[in-house]
Amino acid sequence: MKKISIKNNIFMIAKKNGQRKLDYYLKMRDGREYYMFTRDHSASCYEICKSAIPVNKVLQIRNRNTAIMGLVKYLNFMMPYFVEYYGLKKCS
């Protein structure tokens, strides 16, 4: 599977949804938010993504925490879909 990098003006945020889950969103520079996916709540993932963090930075995280690495692995798997569905610009 090929890894995809996107422009650095696209951010990722996590919001609690009240059911011990986290909803992840893509946040564009102009303030628009696009829903990405929902995963089980993890305090470490929430701490990383509660404020806007560039998607490319999340994709490059290497950590011993299994929740964070699971998020990175799932995000790498889903990025081609997000690029196609939301029309995101890839880096050359």
Q: Is residue 29 part of a domain?
A: yes
Q: What pLDDT digit, counting tens, does each position of 39-72 carry?
A: 999 999 999 999 999 999 999 999 999 999 999 9
Q: Is residue 4 part of a domain?
A: no
Question: Rounded to two decimals, what is the model's pTM?
Answer: 0.89
Instruction: From residue 65, give the alpha-carbon distance in Å to each of 21, 50, 80.
Output: 18, 17, 25
Domain count, the chain: 1
Q: Is residue 1 part of a domain?
A: no
Supply 41's token pair.
């709540």
Q: Is residue 2 part of a domain?
A: no
Contacts for 51 with CB less than 8 Å, ≥ 6 apart: 13
Q: Is residue 24 part of a domain?
A: yes
The pLDDT of residue 50: 92
Band of the pLDDT at 92, cuts 50, 70, 90? low
Range of the structural domain that residue 41 is part of: 11-86
Q: Rounded mean pLDDT of 6-25? A: 91
The pLDDT of residue 88: 87
Q: Is residue 5 part of a domain?
A: no
Q: Is residue 6 part of a domain?
A: no
The pLDDT of residue 4: 79
